[in-house]
Structure 1
Amino acid sequence: MIQDRPWFKNYPAGVPHEVDLEGYRSIMSVLDKAIEKHRARPAFRNFGKVLTYGEIDTLSRQFAAYLLGELGLKKGDRVALMMPNCLQYPVAIFGTLRAGLTVVNVNPLYTPRELRHQLVDAGASVLVVVDNFGHTVEQVIADTPVRQVITTGLGDLLGFPKGPVVNFVLKYIKKMVPDYSLKQAVRYRDALSIGARHTLPAVDIQPDDIAFLQYTGGTTGVAKGAMLTHRNLVANMLQAGEWISQGLDEGKEVIITALPLYHIFALTANGLVFVENGGLNHLITNPRDMKGFVKELKTSGFTAITGVNTLFNGLLNTPGFESLDFSRLKMTLGGGMAVQRAVAERWKQVTGVTLVEAYGLTETSPAACINPMNLKDYNGSIGLPVPSTDACVMDDAGQPLGVGEVGELCLKGPQVMKGYWKRPEETAKAIDANGWLHTGDMAKMDEGGFFYIVDRKKDMILVSGFNVYPNEIEDVVAGMPGVLEVAAIGVPDDRSGETVKLFVVPKDPNLTTEQVKAFCRENLTGYKQPRQIEFRKELPKTNVGKILRKDLRDAELGKPSQH
């Protein structure tokens, strides 16, 4: 069945079955080629300030020279970056990789406990942090192996007078920078100046060197570092690039980067694919400020945008979004969580562009399946395996299942991680003896090779012996007028083992529980209907907007059962 690879017959014209992995040795060779071809073109924009490819080259070299020449770091040492999207981020990423070091991306909203775990687990030598989060670092730095902290204000690369104004407003007017004290910390701009005085040595970067320790699984237990090599990232950039660049013009695209670059989706899809394409990444520092986000979109001239379902839903529900000029928009790519039909259909209606769903994991750098970019309408599928990628659905015994049968989605390809950092047992659980990565997602494949995610294995609800998938329930209820967001979980039930509980964030303040139940009765078979419904002002989410069902479940299990 796998040998047939039925997906090839639905590949868009011009997309190859395999990618040539020998084109680039490392991420740095991708960047250097982009710099050579597009030196004077804009590469990154933030708060109205633009850095060209040539400026990224100069600044990343200074940063690399600081790390090697001043701090004396050795090849393979880990540098942690704790920042939202700002101009310092790409400079630090490319500077760290240029020095032959490994980037450890850190979510800036981590609690002190989570931050300590990651810095210790990764064995990070250096930490770069934006001032807004310095107070978190201050609480844990003494318990970590970090020997140099580099601090920066969000405005530090915006030039004069904008930079100082932004820093002043954030600290003194918006009160977004709590006081902190980090002895011996170096300012980011000083690090660049010091680096400029050092000569950057030639560094031999091998395809199998670890480029990123990308932490994952924090929502299901202790966070693990996926070891992503230069080859993994370059392969995925080529795979996704071949897929999405049909119809894109080299050197002319503007991609909205609202998902943080510390998230693997934005890192590869925006930070690498569009850099190789010579495009401009428009960095959104705080996409949760939806009004400010829409204001930025007004002036951006954007041609492409990536995001998660909640981000697209948020934009669609923000006044002014529907009146933006979408005439240049060619591509909308959704991933990171299931795209809901109601959101996809409304996106097409408002923008005229199909919201194309993709699927990936941190462990696959991330792209594994993407729908054809010429898709006319939302189809509920995660798409076809990208070039050089095999996919199949397996049962619990590890046997491949046939068309339409539900089992665990398994993947194989050059984008699959080297393994989990210092966790051989976890690696062996995830990647079997035949090299298949077991995703933990329940899926099925149709005759045309399109894959459909049914749900997370761990999120599946068992009602009287029937499998109920939260994604299906959420998709249905999200289509109800008056509902803004929804999450479904399983809760213990004496009669049926488990039953469905629904959490609803209403758009219509007059929405009632009975209306939701009636809508579910109309659209869902008996055992799938929620027995309990709770209205909430908001749902717990990760920093990229993925709804945390686990947090809802944990809170529920602390309560006595209800009937």
Structure 2
Amino acid sequence: MTEPHVTAAREPRPWLRFYAAGVPHRLQVPDVTLPGLLDAAARRHGGRSGLPGLHRAVGVCAERLRTLGVRHGDRVALVLPNCPWFAVAWHAVLRLGAVVVAVDPEASPRALRHQLAHSGAVLVMAADSAGERLDAVRGDTCVRGVVAVPVGGEWPGRGRIRKPVRIKRDRSRPGGGGPEPGDLAVLAYATADGPAAILTHANLVAAAHQLALWHPQLREGQETALAVTPLWRPHGMLFGLTAPLLTGARTVLLPTPEPQALLRTARRRRATLLAADPADCRRLLQRPAHELEALATVRTWLTETLDAGTADRIRDSVDAVLVEGYGIPEASGAVLANPRGANARPGTSGLPLPGTEVRIGQEGAPEVALPPGHAGELLVRGPQVCAGYWGDPAATWRRLLPGGWLRTGTLAVLGPDGFATVIGDIGDIGSTGFMGSTGDIGNSGATRGFASHPVQERPRP
């Protein structure tokens, strides 16, 4: 009688062995909403973080929006650059149980028309610079009014009303109260004219915890972060709006990623945390070596996967830990990141974040799992993954597979140790990584006031 052949089972989550010290293997996320997260942060963190001031401003702004007729489930579009009033408006909309539609403030009329009409936004809060473009497309949308926000001065609660804004209520719809964790919070457009991912409060709260847990070295209430990535992107929201609620970091918002302004701000604010996309990293490295000394206080530098030359130059120029990663809007901006320390693998996108699983599916047949070392489509599942696409069941059917797996549209290779290397996009379902080019946001206004979190750096000539 022959002995049966026994094959050792492959470890289901090999990446856990390479997590940095202090990073938990299991993710535990409280069953709270984003307003609940802000309430707790305002109580926990002191004035240096600016969170108590933000909390007060959000309450006033939410009441202002309530008087304008904004109710639970309404979509409110924010067409704003990085500024404190984006943070105030974003949190205020969510506090009412309404839904944020974050739009590129430099979006073309075509992109504005698509996103406003597709989302069914009833109110827009916008910078003055977007006024003409909004006037040109409003007739093709459900927008009932526009609040013109002077991003260089007063906060949104005192913004001008371009048109009569009082939103007529559909009495067949309940007004509702505050949100629940499973409620829709943000409609995230990965492309200018594509579908919008449905991100719930639970999705965004989970992503915030994943990012905070990945960096246990952060000193609670003592960090100063430079937010370069636009807040209208899910990854910008993650770094600039939600994760700071857990870490108590004081966040400085840069309206443009212009290198000289960034370096000047880093020196003045003694920044300890910097998040920038690869293009901004390369622009920074073009500055003279003596100017890069402004980054001497930066301890952690976060970015997307870099080419070897750029990564080496950052390590040679700055005494900071470089953390390369990857994320997409459909996963709240959070999927992969390299661990701190000796286990980091330069040139890869790192390991799945806590609570996240990844696998490689055969290109064109993602339900077929490929073994380590084979290139295919990266699939991900976890509590940060979207619930589908707004008003687009066909896109939901194409991208979300049975078992909760999301097709990322990204070609990647997964090593036997769990490190993933992103190669590029796949065909027409492709979606850019979390740190796409930010472009010129184009705001030169200066805002300060009531120690609000975050603060905006004052541009200089």
TM-score, length of structure 2 as denominator length: 0.84
Q: Which amino acid aligns with 1:421?
A: W
Partner of residue 411, structure 1: 380
- Alignment match of 1:143 (pick from 140, 146, 152): 140
The 2-side partners of 1:95 and 1:182 are apart by 20
Shift of 1:182: 4.2
Residues 123 and 146 in structure 1, CA contact (< 8 A), matched pair in contact too:
yes
| Residues 319, 133 of structure 1: alpha-carbon distance in 2 compared, 3 angstrom cutoff | farther
Distance 1:64 1:401 in 2: 49
Please state if 1:368 is matched with 2:335. Answer: yes
Per-residue deviation, residues 224-277 of structure 1 (Å, max 9, x unmatched): 111000000011111111112x21100000010011111111211232112221
From 12, 22, 25, the equivalent of 2:20 is 12
Are 1:404 and 1:445, in contact at CA under 8 Å, matched by a contact in 2? yes
Residue 342 in 1 paired to residue 309 in 2?
Answer: yes
Q: Kindly indicate whether the alpha-carbon contact (under 8 Å) linking 2:15 and 2:351 is maintained by their aligned counterparts in 1.
A: yes
Shift of 1:377: 6.6
Aligned to 1:258: 228
Shift in alpha-carbon separation, 1:542–1:304, aligned structure 2, 3 A: closer
1:55 aligned residue (53, 56, 68): 53
Per-residue CA deviation, residues 393-428 of structure 1 (Å, 9 max, x unaligned), is: 111332111111111111111111010000011011
| Distance 1:365-1:157 versus aligned 2 partners, 3 A rule | same
Query: 1:406-555 maps to which residues of 2 (within 5 A)?
Result: 406-458=375-427, 542-544=437-439
Kindly provide the amino acid, as one letter, of the partner of residue 55 in structure 1: G
Where does residue 249 of structure 1 map in the other structure? Answer: 219
Letter in 1 for 2:61: F
1:207 aligned to which of 181, 193, 204? 181
- Structure with bigger RCO (C-alpha 8 Å, 6+ apart): 2
Amino acid at match of 1:56: L
Secondary structure at the residue paired with 2:369? coil
Q: Distance in 1 between matches of 2:222 and 2:104?
A: 31
For 2:35 and 2:373, how far apart are their aligned partners in 1? 42
Q: 2:42 aligns with which of 35, 44, 48?
A: 35
**Structure 1 portions without partners, runs of 5+:** 43-51, 159-180, 187-200, 461-470, 472-540, 546-563
Query: Do structure 1's residue 389 and structure 2's residue 352 form an aligned pair?
Result: no
Q: Is the 8 A contact 1:260 1:544 kept in 2?
A: no
Q: C-alpha separation between the residues in 2 aligned to 1:279 and 1:385?
A: 24
Question: Does residue 152 of the first structure (1) align with residue 149 of the second (2)?
Answer: yes
Distance 1:233 1:431 in 2: 18
How far apart are 1:374 and its partner, in Å?
2.4
Q: How many Å separate the matches in 1 of 2:117 and 2:11? A: 43
Structure-to-structure mapping, 1:50-129, within 5 angstroms: 52-68=50-66, 70-129=67-126
Q: Distance in 2 between matches of 1:135 and 1:290?
A: 30
**Rounded Cα–Cα distance in structure 1 between residues aligned with 2:176 and 2:118:** 29
For the residues of structure 2 that align with 1:320 and 1:154, how far apart are their CA atoms?
34
Q: CA deviation at 1:294?
A: 2.2
Taking the aligned partners of 1:99 and 1:39, their CA distance within structure 2 comes to 25
CA shift, 1:375, in A, is 4.9
| One-letter amino acid matched to 1:214 | A
Classify 1:418/1:346 alpha carbon distance in 2 versus 1 (closer, same or farther; 3 Å). same
* CA root-mean-square deviation: 2.5
Q: 1:239 aligns with which of 210, 215, 218?
A: 210
Q: Secondary structure at the match of 2:83?
A: coil
1:198 — aligned with what?
Answer: none
Of all paired residues, the percent bearing the same amino acid is 31
- 2-side partners of 1:266 and 1:429: how far apart? 26
Question: How far did residue 215 of structure 1 move?
Answer: 0.9
Deviation at 1:154, TM superposition (A): 2.5
Contact 2:299 2:321 in 1 (8 A): no
How far apart are 1:310 and its partner, in Å? 0.2
TM-aligned CA distance change 1:448 to 1:284, over 3 Å: same
Post-superposition shift, 1:382?
A: 0.5
Matched, 1:25 2:32: yes
Distance 1:41 1:24 in 2: 27
Aligned partners of 1:311 and 1:4: how far apart in 2? 37
Match status 1:309 vs 2:316? no
* Aligned AA (1:543): T
1:166-177 mapped onto 2 (5 Å cutoff): none
In 2, the alpha carbon distance for the partners of 1:280 and 1:150 equals 27
Q: 1:270 to 1:182 in 2, by over 3 A?
A: closer
Q: 1: distance between equivalents of 2:183 and 2:428?
A: 35
Asked whether the equivalents of residues 103 and 212 of structure 1 are also in contact (C-alpha less than 8 Å), the reply is yes
Structure 1 residue 3: deviation in Å?
Answer: 5.8
Q: Check whether the contact 1:87–1:157 (CA below 8 A) recurs between aligned residues.
A: no
Structure 2's unaligned 5+ residue stretches are 1-8, 156-160, 167-174, 441-461
Q: Distance in 2 between matches of 1:261 and 1:89?
A: 8
Aligned to 2:198: 227
SS of match in other structure, 2:422: strand
The equivalent of 1:217 in structure 2 is: 191
Q: In structure 2, what is the Cα distance between the partners aligned to 1:270 and 1:92?
A: 14
Give 1:557's aligned residue.
none
Q: Residues 305 and 331 of structure 1 are in contact (CA less than 8 Å); yes or no, is this contact kept in structure 2?
A: yes
Cα–Cα, structure 1 residues 67 and 393, in superposed 2: closer, same or farther, change >3 Å?
same
Please report how far the alpha carbon of residue 55 of structure 1 lies from its aligned counterpart in structure 2 after TM superposition: 1.6
Q: CA 1:313–1:120 in 2, change beyond 3 Å: closer, same or farther?
A: same
TM-score by length of 1: 0.70
